[in-house]
Amino acid sequence: MFVIPVTYKEISNVPKIKKWVKKLKKLTFSEEKINKEKVEFLCQFGYFVPKGHNTPEKFGEIFEMTSKMKYHERLEFELKKVRVFIGIKYEKFFMSDRLPKGTLPDPVFNIVSELTKVKMMVESQMHDNSEVLKSIPPVDKSVIDIELFKDIATAEIKQEFNLDDILDKINEKGINSLSDEEKRFLDDSAK
């Protein structure tokens, strides 16, 4: 999960935020006047994996499918998986709620867009897929630190196990041939 601070202006189009701000005095059980500068807003978001899609077979299927997608199709696929919680904090009071599926405040959309670009760059370089690489727009470095993300993504890929080797092993010998460590790696990769 990612947690990012946001401004009221960035999320003011979310109906429940307007309601929360209007009712903040009642919600905090305070008689004091609300200092609007102390009100903080947060977005927490992550990628949701539907039940039944976190099996090694389904993960391999999805990986094969997504690794061939061009940017706009892949971004649409990634955005469908994103779930967002929005929160409001005032002094010791904090409240959050999940936004309806498909509701993405602009800051979350922007980060997911950039993360998708970098993820695709790493994958297409690993698989030497120049067509996919050409479809990726330039990364907006004001939104994401590309070098830091590449380092993290590359480190995850260069772990003790190689995803392609594990998928080949499943294909040749079946899922039961995997060690507990390989299964954990596969489960962690699916998340």
pLDDT tens figures, 115-150: 899 888 888 877 788 899 999 999 888 887 767 666
Of the candidates 119, 129, 126, 115, which has an alpha carbon nearest to the alpha carbon of residue 68? Answer: 129
Give pLDDT tens digits for 20-39: 887 776 766 666 777 778 88
Q: What angle do CA 114, 116, 6 make, to 5 degrees?
A: 45
As beta bridge partners, residue 84 has 45
Q: Would you say residue 95 has pLDDT above 70?
A: yes
Give the torsion sign (CA, 68, 126, 76, 80). positive
What is the amino acid identity at position 131?
Answer: E
With pLDDT > 90 as the criterion, what percentage of the chain qualifies?
A: 26
Residues linked to residue 98 through DSSP beta bridges, in sequence order? 85
- DSSP alpha helix (H) spans, 2-95: 8-11, 15-22, 24-27, 56-66, 71-81
- Cα separation, 90 vs 43, whole angstroms: 15
Q: What angle do CA 135, 107, 64 make, to 5 degrees?
A: 35
Residue type, 74: R
88: buried, middle or exposed (CB in 10 Å: 19+, 13-18, 0-12)?
buried
The pLDDT of residue 166: 76
pLDDT of residue 157: 47
Q: Which of the two residues, 167 and 121, has the higher pLDDT score?
A: 121
Q: How far apart are CA 66 and CA 160, in angstroms?
A: 23
Distance of CA 159 to the CA centre of its chain: 21
pLDDT at 27: 65
What's the mean per-residue pLDDT of the chain?
81
Number of helices and strands (H, E) in the chain?
A: 10, 4
pLDDT classification of 53: cutoffs 50, 70, 90: low
Q: Which residue has the tokens 């405040």?
A: 105
